[in-house]
Amino acid sequence: MENIYNECIRMVQCMVNQSDSLAERSEQARTNPLADQLKEVPVIDMDVHTSFRHEEIQRDMLAHLDDPYRQEVEYYLEPGHSSYDGLYPTDNYNRDLNGKLPTELMQVTDSKEDIDDVLSSEFHVDYPIVNMLPELNMVRQTDKAVAFNRAANNVLVERFLDGHDNFRGLASVVPHDPSAAAEEVDRIAQEDQICGVFINSSGVKTPLGDPKYDPIYRAAEDNGLPVVYHGAAAPGLGLDFPIIQHEMQTYMANHALGHVYSQFLNLTSLFENGTPAKFPDVDFVFQEAGIAWLSLIFRLNREYKQRRSEVPLLEKTPEEYVRDQFYFATQPLDEPNDQRMMKQLIEMWGGDVLMFATDHPHFDIDNTEALLKFMGDFSEEERNKVLYKNSAEVFDIDVST
Amino acid sequence: MSTNTHDLALDDDEHVVAKTDELAEGERLIALLDGKEIGVFNIGGELYAYPNWCAHQGGPLCEGMLSGTVEGEFDRDSLETELEWNREGEILSCPWHGWEFDATSGDCLVDDGCRLRSIPVRDESGHVVVTL
């Protein structure tokens, strides 16, 4: 418990890059007029992770797995097994910056202590939308990937959502067997607090607009759920973009390229296949690549206008679909040297498509106030769309309670 | 220009660009009228005329390929997409960037905000007459 508290402190220190205490930090926040405003606004954070591979969560998984996979997890939980490298695929990247910056600023296993207490006090978040981030795309056996994914969704509901009325969850699917994924969407959508379908964008092999995935989109549409694409420098990125994995030297390069590359690939695939036209009631939500990469939309406009007959299901420009059916998490905030340019980027998409997200507890976490700093002279309505109204609408969250 | 054209009572802004039988179905010509290039088309026996200028970046639109286009239909139950080649001879594609236009209406297929300006053209006594 004390350890967790210390980690909270350290995380906050990382955020502000100074050594003031939590109390002093809160004092600073109170002097920020925008922070005052945040007390009144029901902020929704649409990208919160758990520490899926933490022993406690893996112990929870046991109750939701049949043999042989229950036995497999038990085996890896035995003393003497220091890692799950045989259990889950990894990418072998050293993310921890020689120990200076751990991948996870804290371990997230408890909704109250590790999510609610941290996000509500320091980040003004009222409604966290949690995903398990099980990263199963590169699991080789289809039945194992499907079984573990299903178990992870059950753990999400039982451990993180039950009893936390302000929490919502994104249910994962794996790309191996789209019909099984559609069945999982139908199953898990019965849970009141499940508000979206979550797919890790890297390691899907076939890009996610391919018609073979249409059963997933149809199930999402039937259940009134958005589909959320989580950009990640995760296992599988080396398959999607082997040069990044094998020829570039640093995690700096991997992390800079991985998220946008995988989102480029999948968003383009959606347009290539006309997916938003096929499923007009599905909202498509992209996380963790910031917003500067949305220049791709303008490039897609141009390609569409030049080559419309290759994509005949599209009835309007990609940008029009984006402004109607697509949403993008603000995190990680891009960092032009001239901060006015960041404001211009936010203005370009603004209330139409942006949603606030922290990415708690990962090392590229964003603070609510850091986003608001750029939106000081936006209208209150525009700010509120980004802070919660877009998420409330897409994820169907009643923020009046 | 046809020797018979002086039999037509034309206003100053009316121009004979061809004999009608010189512009067969599926054919087109580019006329230079008052310093402006005008594309004149015979599509299915109907005459159409447009400026030879693409609203996108100013390409010589009326010199582009006149053909059909692909249209698609998605069936949500079967999840099958059926593609069809339709509108043969009616879709004009700009030779610079491929923007598609419906040559029978001037509508742009790729940009709602863009439309070809239709120029009045008619068949009068066997002559194709364009009014600028």
ipTM of the complex: 0.91
Residue B3 lies in a domain: no
Query: For the segment A246-277, what is each residue's pLDDT rounded down to a tens digit?
Result: 899 999 999 999 999 999 999 999 999 999 99
Three-state SS at B62: helix
Average pLDDT of every residue of chain A: 91
3-state secondary structure chain A: CHHHHHHHHHHHHHHHCCCCCHHHHHHHHHCCHHHHHHHHCCEEEEEEECCCCCHHHHHHHHCCCCCCHHHHHHHHHCCCCCCCCCCCCCCCCCCCHHHCCCCECCCCCCHHHHHHHHHHHHCCEEEEEEECCCCCCCCCCHHHHHHHHHHHHHHHHHHHHCCCCCCEEEEECCCCCHHHHHHHHHHHCCCCCEEEEEEECCCCCCCCCCHHHHHHHHHHHHCCCCEEEECCCCCCHHHHCHHHHHHCCCHHHHHHHHHHHHHHHHHHHHHHCCHHHHCCCCCEEEECCCCHHHHHHHHHHHHHHHCHHHCCCCCCCHHHHHHHHEEEECCCCCCCCCHHHHHHHHHHHHHHHEECCCCECECCCCCHHHHHHHHCCCCHHHHHHHHHHHHHHHCCCCCCC
pLDDT tens, residue by residue, B57-88 = 999 999 999 999 999 999 999 999 999 999 99
Give the lowest-confidence range in A31-35, A136-140, A193-197, A359-363: A31-35
Contact A305 B71 (CB under 8 A): no
User: Nearest CB to B79: which of A214, A277, A316?
Assistant: A214
pLDDT reported for residue A94: 82
pLDDT tens digits along A151-199: 999 999 999 999 999 999 999 999 999 999 999 999 999 999 999 999 9
- Residue A24 scores a pLDDT above 90: no
Q: How far is Cα B56 from Cα A358, in angstroms, rounded to an integer?
A: 41
Mean pLDDT to the nearest integer, A235-245? 90
Give the nearest partner residue to B81 out of A218, A313, A317, using CB atoms. A313
Query: Which fold, A2-394?
Result: TIM Barrel (3.20.20)
Model confidence at A14: pLDDT above 80: no
A380 exposure class (CB count in 10 Å sphere: 0-12, 13-18, 19+): exposed
Alpha carbon of A297 to those of A263, A304, A317, A327: distances in Å? 12, 10, 9, 12
Decide if pLDDT at A232 tops 50. Answer: yes
Q: Which residues on chain A are in Cβ contact (under 8 Å) with B79?
A: 211, 214-215, 218
Average pLDDT over residues A134-147: 96
Mean pLDDT within B52-56: 95
Q: What band does A26 get if pLDDT is binned at 50, 70 and 90? A: low
Quote the percentage of chain A above a pLDDT of 70: 92
Measured between beta carbons, which residues in chain A are less than 8 angstroms from residue B56? 305
The answer to whether position B68 is within a domain reads: yes
What confidence category does residue A23 fall into, taking pLDDT thresholds of 50, 70 and 90? low
At B79, list the tokens: 């999840």
Give yes or no for residue A101 having a pLDDT over 90: no
Averaged pLDDT, A71-82: 89
Q: Residue B72: which of A215, A274, A306 has the nearest Cβ?
A: A274
Interface of A with B (CB under 8 A): 211, 214-215, 218, 274, 277-278, 304-310, 312-313, 316-317
A31 against A305, higher pLDDT: A305
Contacts of A308 in chain B (CB under 8 A): 69, 100, 109-110
pLDDT at B30: 98
Q: What are the extents of the domains in chain A?
A: 2-394
Q: What is the pLDDT of residue A27?
A: 59
B83 touches chain A (CB under 8 A): yes
Q: What is the pTM of this model?
A: 0.91
Q: Which residues of A touch B72 (CB under 8 A)?
A: 274, 312-313
Q: Give B109's contacts in chain A (Cβ within 8 Å).
A: 308
Q: Which two tokens stand for residue A35?
A: 């922070």
CA distance B40 to chain A (A): 23
Q: Report, as an integer, the average pLDDT of A54-63.
A: 96
Assign A31 a pLDDT band (cuts: 50, 70, 90).
low
Scanning every residue of chain B, which has its alpha carbon at the shortest distance from the alpha carbon of A212? B79
pLDDT confidence of residue A173: 98
Instruction: For residue A278, give the chain B residue with the closest CA.
Output: B74
Q: Which of A312, A291, A400, A296 is nearest to A354 (CA)?
A: A291
CATH number of the structural domain spanning residue B119 = 2.102.10.10
Which positions 40-59 of B are in contact with A (Cβ < 8 Å)? Answer: 56
User: How close A213 comes to chain B (CA, Å)?
Assistant: 10
Residue in B81, B84, B96 to test binding to A, most A beta-carbons within 10 Å? B81
Over 50: is that where the pLDDT of A129 sits? yes
Domain membership flag for residue B63 = yes
Which of A218, A277, A305 lies at the smallest CB-CB distance from B110? A305
Binned at pLDDT 50, 70 and 90, residue A3 comes out as very low
Q: In this structure, is residue B115 part of a structural domain?
A: yes
**Chain A, chain B: beta-carbon pairs less than 8 Å apart:** 44
Q: Say how far residue B130 (Cα) sits from the centre of its chain.
A: 13
Query: Quick check: is B2 in a domain?
Result: no
Confidence of residue A36 (pLDDT cuts 50, 70, 90): confident
Task: Indicate the number of domains in chain B.
Answer: 1
Q: State yes or no: pLDDT of A401 exceeds 90.
A: no
Answer whether A274 sits within 8 Å of B69, measured CB to CB: no
CA distance B58 to B131: 22
User: Which of B57, B73, B79, B100 is best to mutate for the A interface (most A CBs within 10 A)?
Assistant: B79
- Determine the structural domain holding residue B118 and report its residue range: 10-131
Of the two residues A84 and A353, the one the predictor is more confident about is A353
Q: What is the pLDDT of residues B97-113, one digit of tens each?
A: 999 999 999 999 999 98
Nearest-CA distance from B89 to chain A in Å?
A: 15
The answer to whether B52 and B60 have CB atoms below 8 angstroms apart is yes
Question: What pLDDT, on the 0 to 100 scale, is given for residue B9?
Answer: 87
Are the Cβ atoms of A307 and B70 closer than 8 angstroms?
Answer: no
Please determine, for residue A8, whether its predicted confidence score (pLDDT) is greater than 50: no
pLDDT at B93 over 70: yes
Using CB atoms and an 8 Å cut-off, which of residues 89-118 of chain B contact chain A? 97-100, 109-112
Compare B109 and A35 and report the one with higher pLDDT. B109
Quote the minimal CA–CA distance from A150 to chain B in Å.
25
- Find, among A54, A216, A71, A46, the residue nearest to A131 by Cα: A46
Residue B5 lies in a domain: no
Q: What is the pLDDT of residue B5?
A: 66
